[in-house]
Structure 1
Amino acid sequence: MKQWELTLVDPECSMEKAIATLDQVAVRIVMVVDQERRLLGTLTDGDIRRALLKQRPLSTPVSEVMCSTPRTAERGWAKERILAVMERYQLLQLPVLDDGGVVIGLETLHDLLNKPRRDNPVFLMAGGFGTRLRPLTHNCPKPLLKVGEKPILELILERFINSGFHRFFISTHYMPEMIREHFGDGSRWGVSIRYIHEDSPLGTGGALGLLPHDEIDLPMFMMNGDLLTTLDFGNLLEFHQTHSGAATMCVREYEYCVPYGVIQSEGHRIQSMVEKPVQRFFINAGIYLLSPELVKSVSAGTRVDMPTLLESEISAGRDVNMFPVHEYWLDIGRMEDFQRAQQEFGGL
C-alpha cells in the first residue's frame, strides 16, 4: 500500500479515528472517499481544530466536518502547475484525481520541494542535423533552438534535474562545440554533464557503445533531445523497477482517420461499410529506460537504431516493456511542430 492510500477514510469514520490516521500518516490530511474511492471531501488538522472549537464530539462522522469542495489536481499535471495551485490557495496538500473523480494520489508541498536524489544516468541524444527545421538549423543545432526563452535541450535537462537526477551524458555530432559551450560541465545547474561525440552518425542506438560502460551501474534513461514532455520521470523509473525487463520504451497513442469509407468484403459481396474509421496505434515516444546489461551489449563503433536493438532483445526472449505517455508530449521534428511548441509552451 502506498503512503497516500493510508489517508483514505469512509464518510462514517469518526473524528477520533481520523485524528489517529492524521497522527499515523503525518501528512496532515485525510481524504474522505466512497466505496469506489471517489473523493467526497478532505479533512485537515485545521478542520479538526475548528470542529473541536465548536465542541463537536470526537464521535462525529467526518462527513459532517470535512471540506466537501476541496481543491484537487488532475492526472498528468506538471509539478510546476501543482505548486502554482498550492501557492495560490496556500495549500500544503493536493489530492490527485482521475477523470472519474477517483483518488489516484496525493501531492504534498513537502515532497514537491524536497525532491529525492536519483543516481540513474541520463543520456540525452543531441547529435541530429535537424534537416526538416532548416533554415533554423543552418547555424544552430536543433536541441539549442529556443522554445520560449530556453533551448529545447535545456528544458529537458531541467525537468530531469527537478526530478532529482544529476548524472548526465549528452551525445553530439552536428555543431558539437555550440552544445558544449552552452551546457559546459553542468556546474551551472549543480550536476555533472559529460559528452559522447560521434565522429560519424551511428544511428539512434549506436552512441550507447561510446559510453563509459564501467560507470553504467543503474538503469539508464535515454531520450531524444528534441522532445517536450511533462512526463514524470520518477513514475517511469518506478514502473521499470516494478516490471523487470531489458528495457522500457515510452509509447504514445496515435490516431489515424482513414479519409474514405472502408469496405469489408468476402469475394464480390460487401459485408460491411465503415465511413472514415479511426485506427489507433502505439508509437515510439523517443524515451527509454535501459538496463545496464543492454547498454553494455553495444560495442564501440556499432551502427544500430534503437528499434533494431530492442527487436533483437525481444527475439532473444528478453522482456521489453512499454510505458504509455498520457502527459503532454511533442516531438519537435518539423517547422509546424516548432511553431506549435512556441504557442503551447506557456501552458506547460
Structure 2
Amino acid sequence: MSNIYGISHKGTFGGVMDLFDWKTTSINESATIHEALTVLDQQAMQIVLMVSEDNRLLGTVTDGDIRRGLLRGETLDSPVDTVANQTPTVGYDDETEIVWQQHIKRKSLRHLPILNRRKQLVGLYYHKTQQTPRRKNPVVLMLGGLGMRLRPLTETVPKPMLPLGNQPILETIVKHIAEQGFTEFYFCINYLGDKIRSYFGDGSDWGVRINYVEEPKPLGTAGALSLLPASVRDADKPMVVMNGDLLTKIDFRSLLDFHQSHGNCITTCVREYSHQVPYGVVELQESTISQLVEKPTYRYFVNAGIYCLSPQAVDSVPAGQFYDMPELIKAQMAKGTKMGGFPLAEYWMDIGHIPDYEQAQADYEIFFK
C-alpha cells in the first residue's frame, strides 16, 4: 500500500456547502516527514491529514508542526506521527457551517477536518479570507552575482533571469512573495542588471513596487544592504533578504512571525542536509579504538540563503564594502545579540550548478504550475 492515498468524499452535507476533497492532502501513519512535506509542497491547503486504512483521522500535520519537530531533533526520515497533532479539533457532518466557523475562530485555525459520527473523514473545511493582508516589510533580493557556476548559460543572461517553465526564475520568486501580501521590493543588481530592470520595470505588472539598488562593484551577499535608502535602513520593521537564485515555497509570513516572536536580531533559514560516509568511521582516543560505526549518516542544518534582519543588523553593514551574510551573522554573534534558526519545512532548491537548474526545471512542473 502506498504511503500517500485518499478516497474522495466530496459532497453537500445538510444543504450546507461542498467540502474540499481531502484525497490529495492525506497520508497514512507509516509515512515519513519527508513524504508529508511532499504533500504540503504539492498542494495549496497548508495541511496534511494522517488517515488510517478505514479513513479514520489519526492526526494533522502543518509546516509549523514539522518545523518544531526539526528543531527538537527529528529528521526528514522520521515517522510523520512524531510531529503530527494527534488530537486535532474537528467538526462533524451533521453540524452547520456556523458551528464549523466557530471551531475555526475559537482555535485560530486555517482548516477543520470534517468527520461522520463513525469518526471517518468526509471532507476538509477551510475558511478562505477574501484578501491577503498587506505586509509593509521590505523584501531585498540579492541579484548581482556573476553566475559563474552556470556558465555558459549566464554569459548573456543574469542567473535570476534564466527561464523556468514559461518565465524567469526571478518572476517565480516575485509572484510567490507577492501572493503573501508583500509589495515593497528592493532589487540589488550588478552583473547584467539592465536586463532585470528592463523586464520588471517598476513592478506594477505584478502589483508590487520595485526599487533598484545598483552595486558599483560586486558587494557580496550582504554588502548591498548598506546602499539601501536611509528610510529603509532606519525603519522599525524587520526586512526579508533572499538570494536571487533560490526556488522555494517558504511562507515568508511565518518567517517574520517567528523572527519577531523570538526577539531575534537575525533569523537564518536553515535546511536539513544529510551525508552518508561510504566507509566505516573509526573513532580513536589516542591510539585506542573507542567506536566503529559502519557507513554512518550525518545530518546538519545548512544555511538556506534566506534571512530576516532587524534594523540594528542592517545598520551594522559596512558601507560600500564586499561583505557576505555569514560575516554579518558572526559579527552579531560576537556582540551577543540573539540569533535564530528557522527550519524550512517547504520546498527549497539552490540553483547553483547546471544539474540543480535541470532539477529545478522538473520541480517547477510539480510544485509551481
TM-score range (shorter-chain normalised) is 0.7 to 0.9
Q: Do the aligned partners of 1:257 and 1:276 also contact (CA within 8 Å) in 2?
A: yes
Instruction: Tell me which residue corresponds to 1:265.
Output: 284
- Picking from 162, 172, 179, the partner of 2:189 is 172
In structure 2, C-alpha distance between the alignment counterparts of 1:78 and 1:151, rounded to whole Å: 24
- Whether contact under 8 Å (1:222, 1:289) holds in the other structure is yes
* Alignment correspondent of 2:110: 106
The correspondence of residues 68-147 of structure 1 with structure 2, limited to 5 A, is 73=25, 81-82=43-44, 97=61, 99-100=80-81, 102=85, 103=88, 106-107=110-111, 110-111=127-128, 114-147=131-164
Q: What letter corresponds to residue 269 of structure 2 in structure 1?
A: C
Indicate the RMSD between aligned Cα atoms, in angstroms: 2.8
Matched, 1:185 2:149: no
Q: 1:205 to 1:70 in 2, by over 3 A?
A: closer
1:283 — aligned with what? 302
- Looking at structure 2, the residues matched to 188 and 80 of structure 1 have their Cα atoms a distance apart, in angstroms, of 26
Aligned sequence identity (%):
43
Contact 1:204 1:304 in 2 (8 A): yes
Counterpart CA distance in 1 for 2:60 and 2:167 is 30
Do the aligned partners of 1:73 and 1:82 also contact (CA within 8 Å) in 2?
A: no
The equivalent of 1:292 in structure 2 is: 311
For residue 322 of structure 1, the aligned residue among 341, 346, 349 is 341
Which runs of structure 2 are paired with 1:47-66 in the superposition (5 Å)?
A: 47=13
Describe the SS at the equivalent of 1:203: coil
Contact 1:73 1:97 in 2 (8 A): no
Partner of 2:362: 343
Number of aligned residues? 279
**DSSP 3-state at the match of 2:44:** helix
Provide the rounded CA distance (Å) in 1 between the counterparts of 2:340 and 2:246: 21
Q: Determine helix, strand or coil for the equivalent of 2:289.
A: strand
Determine which structure has the larger helix proportion and give its number: 1
Which is greater in Rg? Answer: 1
- Measure the CA separation in 1 of the matches of 2:153 and 2:231: 38
CA distance in 1, matches of 2:264, 2:318: 21
* Residue segments in structure 1 that go unaligned for 5+ positions in a row: 1-45, 51-66, 86-94
Deviation at 1:83, TM superposition (A): 6.1
2:61 partner letter = L
Q: Which of 187, 190, 198 in structure 1 is aligned with 2:215?
A: 198
Contact 1:78 1:230 (8 Å CA) reproduced = no
Aligned counterparts of 2:157 and 2:336: Cα–Cα separation in 1: 42
Q: Distance in 1 between matches of 2:147 and 2:164?
A: 15
Deviations 1:284-315 (A, max 9, x none): 10000001222122243132111111111111
- Alpha-carbon deviation of 1:269? 3.0
2:110 and 2:127 in contact (8 A); partners too: no
User: Aligned equivalents of 2:172 and 2:258: distance in 1?
Assistant: 23
